[in-house]
Chains A and B, each alone.
Chain A
């Protein structure tokens, strides 16, 4: 079983991209490069996990960021208030969020199409406004971490590198999960649900269960990334944790790279982040970067709806083995 994957070029290409680029800052020891890569890898994780629900199963989830925020809050609370170490806190956060996703998913995945999309917005906003009012976890102001906490990791500087290294591992794991789901029989079931859910039920796919599992799988790594991100920042607040805009950016990255492919979200996240960095620093586009990104998105949806990787797959059928 495992041997089959070892000989899959598509998996290696995606992993090489994530790990290769991820190790680069560790080798050069450049802090600015690390900060840039941190954002890219964070979005790689968010986009490839979202792709399991959006690209494979065909359910438009605007509330993906709720996993990131919730994981961030659980982890941050455990680290800053309870004095846990980073890794156990991240694991517990992922477990908690996955349980939340199973319960929530089994309820809201009964809705389809636009109704599901709207419900996910509602869930994110409900959770965010609940956290704003929850004084035990800081309310609207959020929580802060004592800087002394970083001493356990060899001081703030080392803590940043340590967090970054963990992020590289999480991003790679997220891409691997996406690949295994895509190539497994379970994944084929998800694709069948995407094409025609009623037909897939007739064919004997337990669609409600498959959808819920896909939803829960997509929640694990965003939760971990949330813990890493807010641990690095040293504070967490509801506005940063449950930013609806970030969910939509994740969708844009998936569309840019290629909807329903393994490599697409990786390429899309990298390309989008680089582009945004360029627009933000260029004097010509600085003020108009949002509008410019909007025009780009519109052009992609109208002219290249399958994204970069999808376009290559359609244009050159021979590369399909490499670009999954």
Chain B
């Protein structure tokens, strides 16, 4: 029983971070109908951003995240201009491939610079003991930071003029343009926000697990599963989906060999896509 509670709590905490990563993916899909295949590479880039700031300049990884955040928005807006904007009106395939090309470039340059040996951010935040359950401090802080980011995003989307413009463009780009919203700038900003979320969550994951430049792929697949659980294009759903995935990952190893986790995750993924493509929160 204690093991169960501990793994559930652990799963939930990590689930918030997964959810944050998936919010980036789902935001971009919701606003411009683009499945961002460079998502994983951007997560890996965020990991290395936090890592290099920590080992190179001695900046605390949680403070370093602030720089990763700014860098993420700028990089995302630049990527939008290069790889998304010229292809937005083409077939689906072109943006899938252009974002994949970005991923190849990031991973290629990253492998040349950093090789693919695993690294980790060596930081200890003590541990919290609640009765029989012992939780690592780094996980609590990572979850809190993820919640903070999610709340920040929510306030931005629902309380600011720019955020409302993002939602308007997601809803109907032509109508948004008609009421005077500069939709190209808003799309660029949305891609920047999505990139930022991916990189910040990467920075958080880097404080929890060892990573390499190739680790992004795993988290990209997790983000897909989460987005589908929560409904593609629905950021609130993504956070919930992240918690569900975290719970699954916490629960399964208690009952069966850990190797079965991906089998269950991906089977669930395909089934949900088929039965409820709008996600568990969405209307049918």
Contact = CB atoms under 8 A, between A and B. Distances in A.
Contact of B270 (A123, A140, A302): A123
Contacts of A295: 101, 105
Contacts of B236: none
Contacts of B93: 54, 60, 251, 255, 259
Given A130-B263, A133-B263, A122 B273 contact: yes
A290 B184 CA distance: 31
Given A125-B262, A125-B266, A126-B267, A111 B277 contact: yes
Interface string A280-306: 000000011111111101100110010
A229 to B, nearest CB: 23
Nearest to B266: A126
A60 B92 CA distance: 8
Contact of B98 (A133, A293, A302): A302
Interface stretch (B3-11, B42-50, B61-69, B108-116): B108-116
Contacts of B277: 111, 115
Nearest to B224: A118
A247 B35 CA distance: 17
A256 to B, nearest CB: 11
A231 to B, nearest CB: 27
Given A114-B232, A287-B112, A301 B94 contact: yes
A251 B96 CA distance: 10
Interface in B236-284: 257, 259-260, 262-263, 266-267, 269-270, 273-274, 277
Contacts, number: 124
A129 B112 contact: no
A121 interface: yes
Contacts of A252: 97
A118 B267 CA distance: 12
A129 B106 CA distance: 27
Given A129-B259, A133-B259, A301-B101, A294 B273 contact: no
A17 interface: no
A114 B33 contact: yes
A110 B274 contact: yes
Interface residues of A, number: 42
B232 A58 contact: no
B269 A290 contact: no
Given A115-B232, A118-B228, A301-B97, A293 B104 contact: yes
Give the interface SS of chain B, mostly helix, strand, loop or mixed.
helix
Contacts of B149: none
B101 A294 contact: yes
Contacts of A125: 221, 262, 266
A130 B262 CA distance: 8
B29 interface: yes
A319 interface: no
B112 A302 contact: no
Interface of A: 54, 58, 60, 107-108, 110-111, 113-115, 117-119, 121-123, 125-126, 129-130, 132-133, 140, 248, 251-252, 255, 259, 287-295, 297-298, 301-302, 305
20 contacts: A108-B274, A111-B273, A114-B92, A114-B96, A117-B96, A118-B35, A118-B273, A125-B266, A126-B267, A129-B266, A132-B259, A255-B97, A291-B108, A294-B104, A295-B101, A297-B97, A297-B98, A297-B101, A301-B97, A302-B86
Interface of B: 29, 33, 35, 82-83, 86-87, 90-94, 96-98, 100-109, 111-112, 221, 224-225, 228, 232, 257, 259-260, 262-263, 266-267, 269-270, 273-274, 277
Query: What 5 A-B pairs are tightest by C-beta distance, nearest first?
Result: A291-B108, A294-B104, A290-B108, A126-B266, A129-B262
